[in-house]
């Protein structure tokens, strides 16, 4: 019984709920992360987004059962391994989607509308759009932008064009890295892990990743040094945080090209100490710079 409950929880992919912390980004950038009322609303939004996202994960697993059985990692998932029956999984999927949308609408109708767009986009992804090369990674990246937009709506914070662009580019960068991992698996096994992979090859991915990483770094510097950002944040020292962004991107490229380890950004976030240190360093430095503007060390 205990093992079955563990498999039911695994079906929801709780480790992936960390992606929904993107809802908190607008509040953090607005220097209002200590606003308890906004944090309370965002936590409710995080729960709603996590429920809907889990429903989407279940739908994807259900539709990809046969393909996942051939994957070295995905074959261990509850549906692909047969640990959870398809009927039970679909019931949980419906409950998650309905519960998440209901909670979102109760929190704020506009937030519910954005979450409904996210669900519709992912339903389209699950039912065929994921098989179209380029469009598949664009949809995944758009999902992260919707998370940030939803967080801005809940916290009543304006999401700038800089934040929108950087989030999209970062998500696109990681999505392409994940496709590279699929290509490496294909080279070892001779099997396509997803239909869209036919539209990619290593030469193309190896060209896209450095281009995207360069655009991300330049965009971040342009944001940090822009007069609009300096005026909005009340400080011109944000560019100091570029050190951690640069180190994080370089580490990710190192993992991709040297260690051939780019299958799951979430797995890297939980398992790579260097990436974790870069993230913590960036968060702490950004927090100190925008929340303690009068503290001048150098």
298 residues of the chain, pLDDT tens digit each: 666 677 777 888 888 899 999 999 999 888 888 889 999 999 999 999 999 999 999 998 888 787 767 776 777 777 777 777 888 889 999 999 999 999 999 999 999 999 999 999 999 998 988 889 999 999 999 999 999 999 999 999 988 888 899 999 999 998 998 888 888 877 777 666 677 778 888 899 999 999 999 999 999 999 889 888 888 888 888 899 999 999 999 999 998 888 877 666 777 777 789 999 999 999 999 888 888 876 665 5
Same domain, 44 and 175: no
The per-residue DSSP string of 36-63 comes to: HHHHHHHHHHHHHHHHHHHHHHHHHHHH
Residue finishing a domain among 158, 188, 215: 158
Task: Report how far residue 295's alpha carbon sits from residue 298's, in angstroms, rounded to the nearest whole number.
Answer: 9
Range of the domain at 169: 160-298
Alpha carbons 57 and 130: distance in angstroms, whole number: 13
Can you tell me the distance from the alpha carbon of 186 to that of 72, in angstroms, rounded to the nearest whole number? Answer: 11
* Residue 209 near residue 146, CB atoms below 8 Å: no
Q: Which CATH number does the domain housing residue 152 bear?
A: 1.10.357.140
pTM: 0.89
Instruction: Tell me the helices (H) and strands (E) count for the chain, helix number first.
Output: 14, 0
**Domain shared by 9 and 64, yes or no:** yes
Place of tokens 């979450």: 115
Co-location of 179 and 150 in the same domain: no
- Asked if residue 73 and residue 35 are part of one domain, the reply reads yes
Asked if residue 168 and residue 134 are part of one domain, the reply reads: no
Contacts of 199 (CB under 8 A, 6+ apart): 132, 133, 134
């Amino acid at each position: 019984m205990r093992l079955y409950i563990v498999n039911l929880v695994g079906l929801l992919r709780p480790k992936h709920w960390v992606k929904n912390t993107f809802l908190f980004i607008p509040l953090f950038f607005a220097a209002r992360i200590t606003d308890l009322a906004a944090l309370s609303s965002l936590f409710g939004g995080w729960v709603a987004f996590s429920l809907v996202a889990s429903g989407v994960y279940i739908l994807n697993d259900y539709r990809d059962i046969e393909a996942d059985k051939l994957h070295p990692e995905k074959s261990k998932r509850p549906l692909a391994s047969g640990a959870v029956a398809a009927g039970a999984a679909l019931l949980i999927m419906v409950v998650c989607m309905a519960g998440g949308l209901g909670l979102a609408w109760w929190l704020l109708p506009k937030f519910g509308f954005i979450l409904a767009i996210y669900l519709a986009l992912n339903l389209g992804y699950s039912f065929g759009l994921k098989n179209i090369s380029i469009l598949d990674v664009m949809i995944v990246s758009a999902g992260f932008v919707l998370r940030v937009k939803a967080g801005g709506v809940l916290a009543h914070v304006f999401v700038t064009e800089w934040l929108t662009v950087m989030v999209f580019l970062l998500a696109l960068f990681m999505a392409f890295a994940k496709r590279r991992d699929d290509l490496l698996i294909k080279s070892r096994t001779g099997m396509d892990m997803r239909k869209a992979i036919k539209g990619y090859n290593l030469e193309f991915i190896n060209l896209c990743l450095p281009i995207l990483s360069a655009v991300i770094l330049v965009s971040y510097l342009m944001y940090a040094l822009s007069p609009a950002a300096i005026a909005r944040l009340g400080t011109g020292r944000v560019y100091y945080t570029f050190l951690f962004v640069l180190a994080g991107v370089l580490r990710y490229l190192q993992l991709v090209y040297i260690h051939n380890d780019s299958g799951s950004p979430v797995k890297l976030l939980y398992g790579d100490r260097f990436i974790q240190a870069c993230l913590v360093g960036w968060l702490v430095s950004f927090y100190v710079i925008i929340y303690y503007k009068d503290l001048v060390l150098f």
